[in-house]
Amino acid sequence: MNTTAIISVIAYVALAPAAGGLLAGFDRKISARMQGRVGPPLLQPFYDLFKLLEKEPVTVNRVQDFYVLCCLIFMIITGGFFFAGGSLLLVIFTLTTASVFMVVAAYSSNSPYAQIGASRELLQIMAYEPMVLITAIGFFIVYRSFNVADIIAHPAPAVHYLAGIFLGFVFILTIKFRKSPFDLSMSHHAHQELVKGLTTEFSGKTLAMIELSHWYENIFLLGFVFLFFANGTTQWTVIAVLACLLAYFLEIFIDNSYARMKWQIAVNSSWIVALTAGGVNLLVLYFAIFGFGLGV
């Protein structure tokens, strides 16, 4: 691992919670404005996190705290691999592992609300995973490498060749950011019949770790959006940052514009988008590169 990769990993581990918390604060502010309210202070997510850390630990069993800690650790590892320029396949594997630990933690609580939330979380994983894999395959076809460092170093931005896959990835971000209409298993709004879904039985420091892992995940996911536009130049770096902000604003707008849908719609629509936007994009790439001999 070179010096740049080490600095990138340290920066992610140290700064992602701050950036994720600010992002959550902007989310609440923008959502409030869209609903005609003033909204909480920008730093309210940090106040909430510190308040959770100060609370007395109350858990159903000790093992659920261990699973939540594993989820947080693997989420940090996921972002570490990504920002170090590692393999997208390894990144996807660790991301899925973090999600599975969260599911197991919810199942271990023996709460009907948490267990139904865990079941829905598994359905969400099944919904977005095909699009995530298609995204990795698309990067490999274009750049002949799964490594993030190789993709960023290439002079051609990925969005030129993966526009369909980019749209499909933005679609599943609604699931990963836990926004309506696909906030099925765990919502940041108090409007679910499952209360808080798979986090119903978590409180105090355990719930703080879940919130922290969510902040890490959000920054990592925006890094994935960044990857579609970045090519190492200042111009495209600025465009990539603007694309990240626009993508997140779009998710906030969707969150405040649509009611939550059933899990069947989430799974079916995600697979349809993966097959159409992602699958067609892969076919075009395949015939352009291998059929007509066009290089990237």
Q: What is the pLDDT of residues 83-123, one digit of tens each?
A: 999 999 999 999 999 999 999 988 888 778 888 888 888 99
Q: State the chain's mean pLDDT as an integer.
A: 88
**Identity of the highest mean pLDDT range in 154-163, 186-195, 258-267:** 154-163
Q: What number is the average pLDDT over the span 159-166? A: 93
175-184 residue pLDDT tens = 999 888 888 7
pTM: 0.91
Q: What number is the average pLDDT over the span 249-264? A: 87
pLDDT of 140 higher than 60: yes
Confidence of residue 290 (pLDDT cuts 50, 70, 90): low
Question: Minimum mean pLDDT among 130-134, 160-164, 203-207, 214-218: which range?
Answer: 203-207
Q: What number is the average pLDDT over the span 73-90? A: 94
pLDDT of 294 higher than 60: no
The whole-number pLDDT of residue 296 equals 56
Q: What number is the average pLDDT over the span 197-223? A: 89
pLDDT of 11 higher than 90: yes
Question: Minimum mean pLDDT among 169-178, 265-274, 281-290: which range?
Answer: 281-290
3-state SS of the chain?
Answer: CCHHHHHHHHHHHHHHHHHHHHHHHHHHHHHHHHCCCCCCCCCHHHHHHHHHHHCCCCCCCHHHHHHHHHHHHHHHHHHHHHHCCCEHHHHHHHHHHHHHHHHHHHHHCCCHHHHHHHHHHHHHHHHHHHHHHHHHHHHHHHHCCCEHHHHHHCCCCHHHCCHHHHHHHHHHHHHHCCCCCCCCCCCCCCCECCECHHHCCCCHHHHHHHHHHHHHHHHHHHHHHHHCCCCCCHHHHHHHHHHHHHHHHHHHHHHCCCCCCCHHHHHHHHHHHHHHHHHHHHHHHHHHHHHCCCCC
Q: What number is the average pLDDT over the span 13-23? A: 94
